[in-house]
Amino acid sequence: MKNYLNNKRMMVFSGSSNPELTEKIAKNLGIEVGKVTRTKFKNGEIYIKFDESVRGADVFVVQTCCKPVNASIVELLIMIDALKRASAGMINAVIPHYGYARQDKKSEGREPITAKLFADLLSVAGMDRMIVSDLHAASIQGFFDVPVDHVTAIPIIAKYFKSKNIKNGVVVSPDVGGVKRASIFAKQFHFPLAILDKRRPAPNMAEVEHLVGNVEESDAIIIDDMIDTGGTIVEAINILKRHKAKKVYVAATHPIFSGDAVEVLENSRAEEIVVVDTIPLNKKYNPDRIKVLSIASLLAKTIKKVYYCKSVSELFKGENLV
């Protein structure tokens, strides 16, 4: 049974995947990022040592699952294990982008459910709670037997598009699975909803076949949880243009941007691609074509709510949503 010390305190530590985001979160919280020694053995094994006492503290470890994904995950597991063995009061994993989220079910025989395996690894390592943003499937929360605070970047993206004063707009879901997300976004603007019928013949491959809804003479906003190679998004943009959409904007939370995705997107017919800094953009990009918004303030507010045992859902009610 874990016990809190009388001097209960909040501590924030960063993994190596996105230290810039962790710094922004800590700045919003008014605290310093904790010190960690992080090295590798010659064979690639990761070594972690926390350089200050964490005994009895509410610790928040920020680690996003980005390239190299597997190394990011193993590093997070090692950090959680080290915190558990150092008698941290509560171990909270802040995972802006949850790895393997697309492998959340079996579509064919002899396939793994890797999103569940990752959840099990986090629990066995010693995680007490998880804060995560825009899961590929909300049902992944059910893979955990510990509390999960699932936050969304929709308010951040919606606020940005509010400033554009789009009058005749339509929100487009790039597939049937994203309809709920797109519907929530559309309600913020009282815009109609359109849906693209997308099929996946193989991993990292998708074909857009049909459009349900009307985008003619409208400014279309495609809203998704992630952009990987960018190929499907470009195909979606072209279909909307063929259906006489005036302008097409693209918005997504997680900029995975594999391969030459940045170039593909910048050369597309989209007016602008809007993403959030859950994953760092380590490649050069044109800020006039790709706009990066920050989720740091939202994650900091969520951490505060968790630390002071207050409702996280209050952040997403009423006017707070935009």
Query: 1-45: per-residue pLDDT in tens?
Result: 455 445 579 999 999 999 999 999 999 999 999 999 999 999 999
Measured in whole angstroms, how far is the alpha carbon of residue 206 from the centre of its chain? 21
Catalytic status, residue 244:
no
pLDDT reported for residue 290: 98
Q: In what order do the strands lie in the sheet with 90-95?
A: 10-14, 58-62, 90-95, 129-133, 148-151
Residue 189: phi and psi, rounded to 5, are: -115, -5
Residue pair 111/104 in contact (Cβ under 8 Å)? The answer is no
Instruction: Identify whether residues 189 and 312 lie together within a single domain.
Output: no
Residues 147, 208 share a domain: no
- Give the per-residue pLDDT at 194: 97
Pair 55, 143 in one domain = yes
pTM: 0.93
Structural domain count of the chain: 2
The verdict on residue 3 lying in a domain is: no
Looking at the fold, whether 286 and 310 belong to one and the same domain comes out as no
**Beta carbons of 13 and 29 less than 8 angstroms apart:** no
Same domain, 146 and 279: no
The catalytic position among 40, 42, 198, 305 is 198
The terminus-to-terminus CA distance of the chain in angstroms comes to 40
Q: Give the per-residue pLDDT at 316.
A: 86
- The boundaries of the domain holding residue 194 are 154-294
Q: What is the pLDDT of residues 252-276, one digit of tens each?
A: 999 999 999 999 999 999 999 999 9
- Say yes or no: 147 and 158 in one domain: no
Q: Residue 283 belongs to a domain with what CATH number?
A: 3.40.50.2020
pLDDT of residue 204: 59
Tell me whether residue 255 is in a domain: yes
43 and 164 assigned to the same domain: no
| Distance separating alpha carbons of residues 321 and 184, to the nearest angstrom | 10
Whether residues 180 and 133 share a domain: the answer is no
One domain, residues 124 and 60: yes
Distance of CA 145 to the CA centre of its chain: 21
> How many other C-beta atoms can be found within 10 angstroms of the C-beta atom of residue 183?
14
In a domain, 238, yes or no: yes
pLDDT for res 199: 67
Residues 61, 142, single domain; the answer is yes
Which residues 6+ apart lie within 8 Å of 131 measured at CB? Answer: 60, 92, 93, 94, 95, 148, 149, 151, 299, 302, 303, 306
Is 242 found in the same domain as 193? yes
Q: Which residues contact 45 (CB under 8 A, 6 or more apart)?
A: none
Look at residue 1 and tell me if it is in a domain.
Answer: no
Average pLDDT of adjacent 10-residue blocks, the chain of 322 residues: 62 98 98 98 97 97 97 98 97 98 94 98 98 96 97 96 95 92 94 85 64 96 97 93 97 97 97 98 95 98 97 76 45
